[in-house]
Amino acid sequence: MIPLEVILYSVLVLMVWSGLYRVTWVFRIAESLIVGLFLGFTIYNGIDIIINRVWNPIVIKGNWINPLWFSVVMGVITWGRFHRSTEFLSRWSLAFLAAIGSALAVSGAIRAQIIAQLVVQVWSYTDLWATLNQIIIFVTMICVLFYFTFSFKQSGAKGGISRLGRLVFMVQLGCTFGTMVMGNFAIPIGIVYELSKPPAFYFTIGAFLIIMLDIILRRVGIELKFPFK
């Protein structure tokens, strides 16, 4: 007896991957299902947070005089965006969110993203290779900053530095792309890992056979019609 989990896994994955061959109602159903389930998931977890962090401390525990009311009011007024007369209220809570987020980001950014990046880590008079590397890092950093500064015309010497900056930028993009591919390969590999083991493997064979059948039927001019597009 094939476990239900295996059947479900195989069928759902193959429904989504059918889109690689042709986008049909099979793919569209899987697409709608994932959005729907995620919608339910988000609502469930959102309500859970409000119950745990607002309802329980205020109502169940009876702490009616509570700084949480500030958050509750801020949260409720975001719903003001649904009516023209109360739309202005939702901007107040957006301003609150943006303010807290950006203040925290900026306070960390000055130290971690600006000052720390300008400090030379290793400056050794004995290890010339490490020192040379630090010089190259510093020079490439300046070149890329030049490339991305559009306040002045990039011609002459500035243009040359900017050109070098662009090449270094290409190196960085190459590094990102080269390392990114592993992540993109990992996900289908993980799925293939499951689909290549019996009993899921039988569903994989079934899917291949269905595709072969569709190719043959279309070659002879027969198109299978379904009520859904």
Residues 19-78 binding another protein (CB under 8 A) are 19-24, 28-47, 49-50, 52-54, 56-57, 67-68, 70-72, 74-76, 78
Of 58, 131, 139, 210, the residue at the interface with another protein (CB under 8 A) is 139
Name the residue among 18, 37, 35, 38 with its Cα closest to residue 26. 18
Taking the complex as a whole, how short is the minimal distance between the CB of residue 1 and another protein, in angstroms? 17
The footprint of another protein on this chain (CB under 8 A) covers a number of residues equal to 131
Task: Label residue 83 left, alpha or beta by phi (over 0 means left) and psi (-120 to 50 means alpha).
Answer: beta
Nearer to another protein (CB atom), residue 175 or residue 209: 175
The whole-angstrom separation of Cα 118 and Cα 100 is: 27
Nearer to another protein (CB atom), residue 153 or residue 229: 229
Taking the complex as a whole, how short is the minimal distance between the CB of residue 59 and another protein, in angstroms? 13
Amino acid at 207: A
Which ranges constitute the DSSP H helices of the chain? 4-21, 25-50, 68-77, 87-109, 116-118, 128-147, 156-195, 200-219
The whole-angstrom separation of Cα 138 and Cα 126 is: 19
Question: What do you get for the CA distance between the two ends of the chain, in Å?
Answer: 34
* Residue 125 contacts residue 131 (beta carbons within 8 Å): yes
User: Binding to another protein (CB under 8 A): which residues in 143-202?
Assistant: 143-145, 148, 165-193, 195-197
Nearer to another protein (CB atom), residue 182 or residue 220: 182
Taking the complex as a whole, how short is the minimal distance between the CB of residue 71 and another protein, in angstroms? 4
**Does residue 224 bind another protein (CB under 8 A)?**
no
Residues 6 or more apart whose CB falls under 8 angstroms from that of 131 comprise 122, 123, 124, 125
User: Binding to another protein (CB under 8 A): which residues in 94-133?
Assistant: 94-114, 116-119, 121, 133
Site string (195-214) toward another protein, x via CB under 8 A? xxx-----------------
Of 59, 63, 83, 87, the residue at the interface with another protein (CB under 8 A) is 87
Nearer to another protein (CB atom), residue 82 or residue 125: 82
Taking the complex as a whole, how short is the minimal distance between the CB of residue 156 and another protein, in angstroms? 20
* Residue 71 contacts residue 49 (beta carbons within 8 Å): no
